Amino acid sequence: MKNEAQPFFARQAWVAGAWARDVLLGVSSDGHWNRVEPHCTAAEQASAIQLAGPVLPGVVNAHSHAFQRAIVGLTERRTRGAGADDDFWSWRDRMYSAANCITPQQLETIASQLYAELLAGGYTQVCEFHYLHNALGGAPYADVAEMSLALVRAARRTGMGLTLLPTLYMRAGFADAALRPDQRRFASTPDSIARMVEDLQRHTQNDANINVGVALHSLRAVSPAAVKELAAYARQAQLPVHIHIAEQTQEVDECLVHTGLRPIEWLLEHVEVDARWNLVHATHATRDELAGVQARGAAIVICPATEANLGDGVFDLAGYAAVKGAWSIGSDSHVTRRWSEELRLLEYSQRLTQRKRNRAAQWLGAESSAAALLEAALRGGHNATGLPVRGIAVGQRADFCVLDANAPSLLGMPADHVLDALVFSSPDARFASVHVGGQPAALGNDAQFAQAMHALWGG
């Protein structure tokens, strides 16, 4: 018989889309919930570990580029020159300066700091869209997974769940046959990605909180033949698949010029997209494209803070909700690192464009916008990871966060409005503790992070 951990007791826990009272939470030896029982007895409470505040499920961060944590705050000054205008593409050039100087050791340090921050922000699984594969000069490492394994070590150091997505990146744009010189570290082929996946699966086969999928950087960065080749491999291996798509209007326009179709149109017409697929951003999608994504069972990954920071545009949440599409949330470039802030920005962007309030509640058929957004993000987390991480329910992984009940934004708050206050009242209430698979995670700063930043940027 398997041994079970001592159960937890929560006076208040988010279960099945609502607050439940006096909840006994049992964790099996494999780190999954085996008991979720509201209104437990006094005797059961006394025998359990007492959790000091309201308990929320951990949330999947479905889109991350860990190395970009190193440039947060360093790209917020305008480009010099007469008539110069900043947009995604000028930001990208600055981002490459980081991509071309980070070593595996520095990446591990940066990712360790990031993952501790993400855990502190309530994320318990991160999907790492990873294309920084090669050595500083662009030559392959002796171990094709050298940079990927730095991320694995960071996840293990902090206790973060990790879905690692080795990313195919082959060309600079639709009209190009090869990469730019400053993109040489990204160079890969369908075969090299497959080798990387299999190597990583061997390295992580005994770690229940780490799994592997694949990503295609974008249609502009991967040839049609290579898209189909890697998609076929992922289908055969039953791996999650992620792709950047329709993030900027320029990308949509160029795809039309070179293929005669919009990016999502092309993908749906030429590839067997199914429930394992996750379309990152899809900011500039038509209503028909959104309906097509939903009809295939695929999901969209929305990254509100990054999309705002880069000036990408506003996702059509109303149109996607109308077809009951699945979506998850991601922090992407990590200008924010809390899911509550991503959900707040998602709702506020809709309010600003619609000039009305409680848009998510209206479109998703709920009373509370915060509840509607959280529940949608939890459901989409399974699509992004292929793991049982859908919240506090029997059979799901035992990921949870305990709110600081004494946080200023929660003081005097009626119990049923705690989630609303968490999402829509600043300063954000902090999480006093976070557990992944029933085990406490590390929330503190990585002592080496400041040294790594000084080595990269000085100051």
Between the alpha carbon of residue 433 and those of residues 9, 41, 52, 84, 312, the distances in Å are: 14, 25, 9, 45, 34
Q: How large a percentage of the chain has pLDDT more than 70? A: 98
Contact 173, 253 (CB under 8 A): no
Of 32, 65, 217, 281, catalytic:
281
Opening angle at CA 149, ends 226 and 242, nearest 5: 35
What's this model's pTM, rounded to 2 decimal places?
0.97
Between the alpha carbon of residue 348 and those of residues 299, 355, 356, 360, 456, the distances in Å are: 22, 10, 10, 10, 35
- Tens of pLDDT, residue by residue over 16-36, are 999 999 999 999 999 999 999
Predicted confidence band of residue 1 (pLDDT cuts 50, 70, 90): very low
Of 312, 316, 332, 399, catalytic:
332
Retrieve residue 389's tokens: 């991480």
Contacts of the segment 35-40: beta carbons below 8 A, 24+ positions apart: 35/7, 35/394, 36/392, 36/393, 36/394, 38/13, 40/9
Predicted confidence band of residue 83 (pLDDT cuts 50, 70, 90): low
- Tens of pLDDT, residue by residue over 153-195, are 999 999 999 999 999 999 999 999 999 999 999 999 999 999 9
Between the alpha carbon of residue 426 and those of residues 93, 318, 335, 409, 423, the distances in Å are: 33, 26, 17, 6, 8
Structural domains in the chain, CATH included, are 8-57+392-440 (2.30.40.10), 59-385 (3.20.20.140)
Q: Is 281 a catalytic residue?
A: yes
Q: What average pLDDT score do residues 333-350 get?
A: 98
Assess whether pLDDT exceeds 60 at residue 95: yes
- Tens of pLDDT, residue by residue over 381-428, are 999 999 999 999 999 999 999 999 999 999 999 999 999 999 999 988
Which of 9, 63, 22, 15 is CA-nearest to residue 419? 15
Residues with Cβ within 8 Å of 410's Cβ and at least 6 positions away in sequence, in order, are 54, 403, 404, 418, 421, 422, 425, 429
